[in-house]
Structure 1
Amino acid sequence: MIRSGQGQTDVIERGNGIWESRGVGNSYLVTTGEGDVLINAGTLADAERGKKLFARVSTLPIHSIILTQSHANQYGGLEVYKTADNTVIAHRLYNEERDYNDALFPHYSRGSRRIFGGITGNTDSLIPTREVRPDLIVGDEGHAFTLGGRRFEIHWTPGGETRSAVIVWLPQERVAIVGNLFGPLFGNHPNLNTLRGDKPRSALQFVASVKKLRALGPEQILTGHEDIRGAQHIRETISRIIESVQWVHDRTIEGMNEGKDIRTLMRDIRTPEHLMLTEEYGKLAWNVRAIYHEYTGWFDPARGTTELYGVPPSAVAPTIAELAGGVDSLARAARDFVKKARPLEAIHLLDIAVAAEPQSSLVREVKREALVLLDQQSGGNNLWERRWIATELADLKD
């Protein structure tokens, strides 16, 4: 999906005068007789390509540019499309989110490169060379306008990937352009807490935002990557998503009130078959953890007193290795776990061994075996999980 725009030679017609330029995040041009509306600019590289493609289907000026959230795959190419005569529209929280993203740019970009560097390419192709701020700030109540006889409604959906997330609703056509409200995949578990280090997202805000979309009754949904059609299919899938995330939320709260620790809940909570969602992007067990920490913060009582202080477990790794008879003994014990198809127990031991002696060839060899087995057991079904394991394996080569 991310790379699908690289070979694109023509925009894709999505019906009702809506055209799609694909990229790290898709851009949509909605044409009218009085000018066009662009929904998301894409990354800088996406915009440089997309502008030329859009010019083949419309020569009218872009009247408005609507940003569905504050990630670079929505705003990165703004400078390509921005003119003195068009209006950039975003939610009131957009500038605040951009400011904290800029303040933490090295942190966020390091996390993104680790997970997605091999997919999205060079950072310079994603981010703008100059800042373009919104001309029109939309409040929580939303915003609407009519252009060329077409009505555009902007609805705030803070349960998406950012608090400034909005969807664009075309009521006459019953088309919703939802950005990354669902993440990149429709019918998938939401990703409430990413491995790259974003702010956590609220499960209940996600449910409320998706309910708002369901109430509109869309017959077509254009996401950041997909074209979903059919009123019944959309409503049934949206309802399953709502009920599934609510069910996971409620079971997590129940478990917390029963005194169960976070890892027990991650292992034990499983949705009924009729509420199952795919886990290619978000993952049920990780959402249990995100919900738990949404209500409790960072302290995990199950990990005890040391959670309160800055001394990590690695501080005692050399002592544990010595007591075990050296890192080779730990590595051999870890290999026994691998042979028993228990890679996570092996990695717990190997983390101690690596902290004690990072350059041990035996430790690195066994850790590779454990990671490969873990990848096999997971089935490679979750993008974040398989990318994380891939980066861990790459680190061993270094």
Structure 2
Amino acid sequence: MIKVISYIVILLLTALMSFFLIFNFSPSFKKSVQLKIVNQIDNIASSRISNNLNAKGSVAAEFINIPIEAREIAPDIIQVTGVGNTHVIQTSEGDIMFDTGLSIQAAKQMSALSEIYPEINLSHIILSHSHADHTGGVKFWYEDGVKIITHVEFEEEQRYLKELETYFWNRNRTLFPFMPESPPKLDLLSTGGIKPNLLVENDRPFKFTKGGMDFEIYALPGAEGSDNLVLWLPQKRVLFSGDFFGPLFPQFPNIFTMRGEKIRKPFEYIKSLEKIIDLDPVMIIPSHKDPLDNTFFINEGIRKILGATKHVHDETIKGMNSGKTVEALMREIRLPPELSITQEHGKVSWAVKSIWEYYSTWFHFDRTTELYAVPQSDIYNDLLGIIDELKMQKLIQNYIDRGDFLKALHLIEIVLFDRNYRGPVLNFENFVLKELLKQANDTTKNSYEIYWLNYKLNNNQERLEAQ
């Protein structure tokens, strides 16, 4: 019921906003009404996450619960916190904004900023990449004459993300079930439509001076995509990193994204990390969470990320050349103790598979059927028709007893491919998924693996209850 009411309220608010857009009210009045309505939509979204049991302890819940407040984090630098941070660098000749946060939080971020800096005078908006939690506020902040600076690949990344919005949205909702059922349609809240007027190319940094402060923008691909860039303030030795390092620092990079998107290019990321080491920042200001200002921690962290990424990349290449299978390399390749960093966001074994397929595509040169459009699952029902069900269940139980949970799951997935199946194999799946979830929590704590296993457990529970 709460879910239904939330959607009704959002629809009513959207209709109200459309009313004010259609009729000839003054621009300032329209903007004021729009901001109030967006503010209420953010309240509803936050409430849905807070009330959703599947969101508890997730990165999404952690981010949505970050208080929205404006604070000076260094001389002339203001950070407005939220799911995605918005940053303002003040100069005597105009202000520079780096990233703009999430659209539904833009109204609150604007209000928070106005409390400590009411006379903002934007000359530039710099976007670290095309993801919605970094570009969502552009339509709120943009005014005629403001320059929007992005990577040269920004428009292409924005294009494919928009064209596949429904597909990616459904995948995201599988992992984050507290999301609305469909993407927002209202222009102010919808993704896409950003038109940069200054583009930065790889190996050709864009530099300018404003109010006596130097700004250097570097295109550093390979992090959150091919359109990643960072802002460097050489006089302060401050780096605005966007999502270059991800939500945790230091972390193993998320070369693979379970929710979808193109595979990130690992070798480009290695080169980009080397560039940041050359810059030698004393402060890193990410677009998620708090700034980092411990120079030793920053240097050690970046070098660990570089070493870990290079190790996994090089070991995968070595394994491919030696004739090992991708599955063998996923099992074998590990980070050495001196390069150990969290895998809560990116996971080593998934990076191995992504690197393999990035270099050699999806055809692994072992099964002819990979080349054709008849999946293995098409014969599952025929296979089950000639297999003794009790023997199958006994084999599954034997695998479970030996701790071979993934072998057990292969057999379980054959049986449960029939969505109408109701029987004891559902209990086997429930047990195996819980064991895999325990392993994930006890080892890498990878958020996406945990999201997926929880999703499958919820599906399993629904089928058990329907028996």
TM-score surpassing 0.5?
yes
| Distance in 2 separating the partners of 1:152 and 1:312 | 53
| Distance in 1 separating the partners of 2:196 and 2:373 | 41
Q: CA deviation at 1:7?
A: 5.7
The residue aligned with 1:369 is 431
The residue aligned with 1:279 is 343
Are the aligned partners of 1:24 and 1:73 in contact in 2 as well (CA < 8 Å)? Answer: yes
The residue aligned with 1:290 is 354
Identical positions, percent = 30
Letter in 2 for 1:311: V
Q: CA deviation at 1:9?
A: 4.9
- Structure 1, unpaired ranges of 5+: none
* Structure number, greater radius of gyration: 2
| 1:329-355 deviation digits (Å, cap 9, x = unpaired) | 534432332333322112101110012
Query: Against the structure 1 CA distance between its residues 314 and 127, is the aligned structure 2 distance closer, same or farther, given a 3 Å change threshold?
Result: farther
* 2:141 is aligned with 1:81: yes
Match of 1:339 among 373, 388, 401: 401
Query: Against the structure 1 CA distance between its residues 148 and 116, is the aligned structure 2 distance closer, same or farther, given a 3 Å change threshold?
Result: farther
* Range moving further from structure 2, 274-283 or 118-127: 118-127
Summarize the alignment of residues 207-222 of structure 1 with structure 2, pairs less than 5 Å apart: 207-222=270-285
The residue aligned with 1:105 is 165
| 1:13-48 deviation digits (Å, cap 9, x = unpaired) | 321222222233222122223322111111111212
Summarize the alignment of residues 299-314 of structure 1 with structure 2, pairs less than 5 Å apart: 299-302=363-366, 304-314=367-377
Are the aligned partners of 1:68 and 1:167 in contact in 2 as well (CA < 8 Å)? Answer: yes
Task: Indicate the SS of the match to 2:416.
Answer: helix
Q: CA deviation at 1:195?
A: 0.8
Match of 1:138 among 196, 200, 225: 200
Match of 1:29 among 75, 84, 88: 88
| Distance in 2 separating the partners of 1:22 and 1:222 | 12
| Distance in 1 separating the partners of 2:79 and 2:392 | 54
Letter in 1 for 2:220: T
* Range moving further from structure 2, 190-199 or 5-14: 5-14
Task: Indicate the SS of the match to 1:56.
Answer: helix
Query: Against the structure 1 CA distance between its residues 281 and 147, is the aligned structure 2 distance closer, same or farther, given a 3 Å change threshold?
Result: same
Cα RMSD for the two superposed structures: 2.2
Task: Indicate the SS of the match to 2:424.
Answer: helix
Task: Indicate the SS of the match to 1:164.
Answer: coil
Query: Against the structure 1 CA distance between its residues 113 and 71, is the aligned structure 2 distance closer, same or farther, given a 3 Å change threshold?
Result: same
TM-score normalised by the chain length of structure 2: 0.80
Summarize the alignment of residues 55-204 of structure 1 with structure 2, pairs less than 5 Å apart: 55-58=114-117, 59-118=119-178, 123-124=183-184, 127-128=189-190, 131-140=193-202, 141-204=204-267
Letter in 2 for 1:292: W
Task: Indicate the SS of the match to 2:214.
Answer: strand
| Distance in 2 separating the partners of 1:122 and 1:107 | 10
Letter in 2 for 1:338: I
The residue aligned with 1:391 is 455
| Distance in 1 separating the partners of 2:177 and 2:205 | 35
Query: Against the structure 1 CA distance between its residues 56 and 148, is the aligned structure 2 distance closer, same or farther, given a 3 Å change threshold?
Result: farther
Count residues with an aligned counterpart: 396
TM-score normalised by the chain length of structure 1: 0.93
| Distance in 2 separating the partners of 1:118 and 1:332 | 38
Query: Against the structure 1 CA distance between its residues 38 and 329, is the aligned structure 2 distance closer, same or farther, given a 3 Å change threshold?
Result: farther
Letter in 2 for 1:106: T
Query: Against the structure 1 CA distance between its residues 26 and 339, is the aligned structure 2 distance closer, same or farther, given a 3 Å change threshold?
Result: farther
Query: Against the structure 1 CA distance between its residues 188 and 233, is the aligned structure 2 distance closer, same or farther, given a 3 Å change threshold?
Result: same
Query: Against the structure 1 CA distance between its residues 295 and 224, is the aligned structure 2 distance closer, same or farther, given a 3 Å change threshold?
Result: same
| 1:32-69 deviation digits (Å, cap 9, x = unpaired) | 23322111111111212111111122222222110000
